[in-house]
Chains A and B, each alone.
Chain A
Amino acid sequence: MTEFLPHIPIEIKPYITAVLASLSCGIIGTYIVIRRLVFISGGITHASFGGIGIGYYLGWHPLAGALVAAVLSALGIEYTTRKGAMRNDSAIAIMWSLGMAIGIIFVYLTPGRPPNLMSYLFGSILVVSEAELFFLLLLDIVLITTFLVFYKPVIYVAFDRDFAKSRKYPVALIDYVMMVFIALTIVLNIRIVGIILVISLFTIPQNIANLFTLRNKPMFIFSVLISMAGTGMGIVLAGIIDVPTGATIILFLVAMYLLSRLLNRVFKI
Chain B
Amino acid sequence: MSNTLIELQDIGIAYGEQVVLENINFRIVNEDFIGVIGPNGSGKTSLIRTILGEIVPFTGNMYHAPQLSIGYLPQVNHMDTKFPITVEEVVDAGFLGAGYNTAGKKNKKEKLDHLLSEFRLQDFRKRQIGTLSGGQLQKTLLARAVVSSPGLLILDEPDTYIDNEFEHELYNHLVKLNKQMAIILVSHDLGMISSYVKTIACVNKTLHHHHSHEINEELLKAYNCPIDIITHGTVPHRVLKNH
A residues in contact (CB < 8 Å) with B: 34, 36, 152-153, 155-160, 162-169, 210, 213-216, 219
Contact = CB atoms under 8 A, between A and B. Distances in A.
Contact of A159 (B80, B131, B145, B154): B80
Main secondary structure of the interface of B (DSSP, over half): mixed
B149 interface: no
Given A155-B89, A156-B93, A163-B74, A214 B128 contact: yes
A61 to B, nearest CB: 38
B84 A160 contact: no
Interface residues of B, number: 28
B111 to A, nearest CB: 16
A269 to B, nearest CB: 15
A169 B89 CA distance: 17
Interface string B68-109: 011010100011100111100110110011101000000000
Given A168-B98, A216-B85, A162 B92 contact: no
Contacts of A219: 84
A212 to B, nearest CB: 11
Q: With a 10 A CB-CB cut-off, give which of B69, B85, B86 has the most chain A CB atoms.
A: B85
Nearest to B73: A163
A160 B97 contact: no
B131 A214 contact: yes
Contacts of A155: 85, 89
Given A167-B96, A215-B128, A34 B84 contact: yes
A169 B100 CA distance: 10
18 contacts: A36-B80, A152-B89, A152-B92, A153-B96, A156-B96, A160-B93, A163-B74, A163-B145, A164-B93, A164-B96, A165-B54, A166-B70, A167-B70, A167-B72, A168-B53, A168-B98, A169-B96, A215-B85
B128 A156 contact: no
A220 to B, nearest CB: 9
A204 to B, nearest CB: 17
Interface in B28-79: 52-54, 69-70, 72, 74, 78-79
Given A167-B96, A167-B97, A156 B74 contact: no
Nearest to A36: B80
Contacts of A165: 52, 54
Nearest to B148: A167
B86 A215 contact: yes
Contacts of A153: 96, 100
A219 B69 CA distance: 33
Given A152-B93, A163-B74, A167-B96, 4 more contacts: A34-B84, A159-B93, A168-B53, A219-B84
> What 5 A-B pairs are tightest by C-beta distance, nearest first?
A167-B97, A214-B128, A156-B93, A166-B72, A216-B84
A215 B97 contact: no
Contacts of B89: 152, 155-156, 216
A167 B98 contact: yes
Contacts of A158: 83
A15 B93 CA distance: 39
Nearest to A206: B84
Contacts of A160: 74, 78-79, 93
Contact of B84 (A157, A162, A164, A210): A210
B63 to A, nearest CB: 17
A34 B93 contact: no
Given A34-B83, A219-B84, A162 B93 contact: no
Interface string B126-159: 0010110000000000001100000000100000
A66 to B, nearest CB: 31
Interface string B190-216: 000000000000000000000000000
Contacts of B80: 36, 159
Q: With a 10 A CB-CB cut-off, give which of B72, B144, B145 has the most chain A CB atoms.
A: B72
Q: With a 10 A CB-CB cut-off, give which of A159, A163, A214 has the most chain B CB atoms.
A: A163
Contacts of B93: 152, 156, 159-160, 163-164
Nearest to A214: B128
Q: With a 10 A CB-CB cut-off, give which of B72, B84, B97 has the most chain A CB atoms.
A: B84
Contacts of A216: 84-85, 89
Nearest to B48: A166
A142 B116 CA distance: 36
B84 A214 contact: yes
Given A162-B74, A162-B78, A215-B128, A169 B84 contact: no
